[in-house]
Structure 1
Amino acid sequence: MTEVFFYHLQNRPLESALPLLLEKCLERGWRCAVQATSEERVAALDQVLWTYDESSFLPHGTDRQPDAARQPILLTANPANPNGATVRFLVDQATIDDAASYARVIHMFDGADPDAVEQARGSWRVAKAAGYDIAYWQQGPDGRWARR
């Protein structure tokens, strides 16, 4: 059964929260796809993952590279899944039609953006109606996640 998680960004931006969640996925041996809404955003996230922590390395690439299928973390602006990811991150209000093909779909949304909050609410309703296991995670003042 697919799990659909909603991560409500409040105290840290996506650029600092996403790498930590990706690290946890890799520790569990999961392949991931991170879907943004534009190629420019994919390029920016690619840069973030190279530079977010000098003492850490997240193996990743973009779907524009010839070895996309080999990447444990793939950054993309389209719904294809060339690396066989089992976890799909949706950022910047990105959407997919078929969540059932993943073990987990993670919606990350900015709590300061009313459009992003409304889109997340709509995605919650769709996921609930489809019968997926749903969880809501909220950032505390220290940036840690708490399940609500």
Structure 2
Amino acid sequence: MQVDFYHLTVRPVEAVLPRIADRVLESGARLLVVSADEAQRERIDGALWTQDKESFLPHGLAGGAHDADQPVLIGADVAAANGARHVALVDGEWRDAALDFDRAFHFFDEASIAAARTAWRALSGREGVEPRYWKQNEQGRWERVA
């Protein structure tokens, strides 16, 4: 199981998640996006509509009649009603339920760095878990640090 820790230092998650979601969909997989913050879920919903002027990423907010049909589902809980095997935790809070997926993306910023370090230490020694750490450079591009 792969867990990618994404340290947001230049651009917010709403600006970087659409590209990662696009890559997940290109691979033929589905994605669950999790945030306990309703306002953040709405910002991500908007970002997925407007990330590319030529297209949009098909998605929906959890709780709708067609959750199972959504390639990208945005919700408050780690409950993949869309059958996703990839999960993005975007509010800086690690949830162990993400370990039930094939791949997890854990986004955090300076406000949640202490919790991310705790999660990293807990996952580093776990059998079958491969944590990787990515940090934004000054141009906002991702560089693998660990």
TM-score (norm: length of structure 1)? 0.90
Spell out structure 1 runs of 4+ moving beyond 3 A: none
Match of 2:116 in 1: 120
Residue from 131, 135, 140 that aligns with 1:134: 131
Cα RMSD, aligned residues only? 1.4
Unaligned residue ranges in structure 1 (runs of 5+)? none
TM-score (norm: length of structure 2)? 0.91
1:37–1:93 contact (8 Å) kept in structure 2: no
Residue from 133, 142, 145 that aligns with 2:142: 145
Comparing 122-131 with 15-24, greater Cα deviation is found at: 122-131
Q: Partners in 2 of 1:45 and 1:127 — Cα distance?
A: 27
Once the two structures are TM-superposed, the CA of residue 99 in structure 1 deviates from its matched residue by: 3.1
Match of 2:63 in 1: 64
Q: Partners in 2 of 1:93 and 1:84 — Cα distance?
A: 23
Q: Partners in 2 of 1:13 and 1:81 — Cα distance?
A: 24
SS across alignment from 2:96: coil
Comparing 117-126 with 92-101, greater Cα deviation is found at: 92-101
Once the two structures are TM-superposed, the CA of residue 94 in structure 1 deviates from its matched residue by: 3.2
1:33–1:87 contact (8 Å) kept in structure 2: yes
- In structure 2, what residue type is equivalent to 1:45? I
Q: Deviations over 1:93-117 (max 9, x none)?
A: 233233332111110111x32xx10
- In structure 2, what residue type is equivalent to 1:144? R
SS across alignment from 1:98: helix
Unaligned residue ranges in structure 2 (runs of 5+)? none
SS across alignment from 1:146: strand
Match of 2:87 in 1: 88
Q: Partners in 2 of 1:64 and 1:99 — Cα distance?
A: 20
Q: Partners in 2 of 1:99 and 1:130 — Cα distance?
A: 14
1:35–1:94 contact (8 Å) kept in structure 2: no
Once the two structures are TM-superposed, the CA of residue 127 in structure 1 deviates from its matched residue by: 1.4
Q: Partners in 2 of 1:143 and 1:39 — Cα distance?
A: 25
- In structure 1, what residue type is equivalent to 2:35? A
